Amino acid sequence: MNTVLDLGNSTIQNGIRTFDVFRSRREAIDTFVFTFREGLRLNVEAGTRAEFYVNLPGGEPKKVFHGSVDRARAPFRARDKMAELMKPINQAFINTVPQEVLNYVLQREGIGGAILSPQTFPKKNFVASAPSFYDLVLHVNKHWSAAYSGYFDLEGIFRWHSYEQPGKVPVFAYGENIIRLEYDGIEGRILTILVPEIDHSRLIGIEHPEVDVDEVLVDAVHHYTNDRGGARTEIHFSVV
């Protein structure tokens, strides 16, 4: 396994001893917790940009996290851009649509380039009163009967739209690349080898005698090193 950590203006290759990346379309903040290999000492400051890439031997490095450091001591922690928006929002909007509400708040916070659903919604009056931008997205969904997840992608771009499927649907199969599976008929989890190219808000295929559907939606991905130094990916999914 190879790792690359872009930390501010520094690039650290294979200097990570342990890592724990959690990204979700259902949780407010994505996190990356890491430690350096013994003997590697760097001055890590809060607010420093952090991008983490990982790959298995022979594979191309895949970005699995984009954010900034918020805990500058070991174990270090970085969080995605949503963490910067965990503050109250109070604003009244008249004769508006959800895209205008979200864009207004993002631009007020200096965040541009959002990718929002092109769906047409009726214009309504809306009072934004939420403890955070994440909660505002939930209120917007409820007010306009939308069901979109709001999250920042691996390029730091905010997204609010239906899930997209880039390329071929990856398949996880019984007896091949599934280490452990839990499934209750609605939601489930797969433990597999490290699969850095898997992200949430995408479809995966499952071939398993205990699963009665062919494709499911990824709700969260958890890439981490275990106690034995191996790397694993845990995929949380739901039936669509």
Q: What is the mean pLDDT of residues 205-217?
A: 95
The pLDDT assigned to 60 comes to 86
- Interacting residues of 217 by C-beta distance below 8 A, sequence separation 6+: 163, 201, 202, 203, 237, 238, 239, 240
Residue 112 has pLDDT above 90, yes or no: no
The single-letter code of the amino acid at 26 is R
In a domain, 20, yes or no: yes
pLDDT: which is higher, 145 or 60: 145
Among 35-49, 53-67, 87-101, 160-174, the range with the most confident prediction by mean pLDDT is: 87-101
In a domain, 166, yes or no: no
Structure confidence at residue 1 as a pLDDT band (50, 70, 90) = confident
90 shares a domain with 72 = no
Q: Give the domain CATH number at 90.
A: 3.55.50
* DSSP output for 133-193: HHHHHHHHHHHTT---EEEE-TTS-EEEES----SSPPEEETTTT-SEEEE-SSEEEEEEE
Residue 213 has pLDDT above 90, yes or no: yes
11 shares a domain with 75 = yes
Residue 166 has pLDDT above 80, yes or no: no
**What does R_g of the chain's alpha carbons equal in angstroms?**
19
The pLDDT assigned to 167 comes to 80
107 shares a domain with 153 = yes
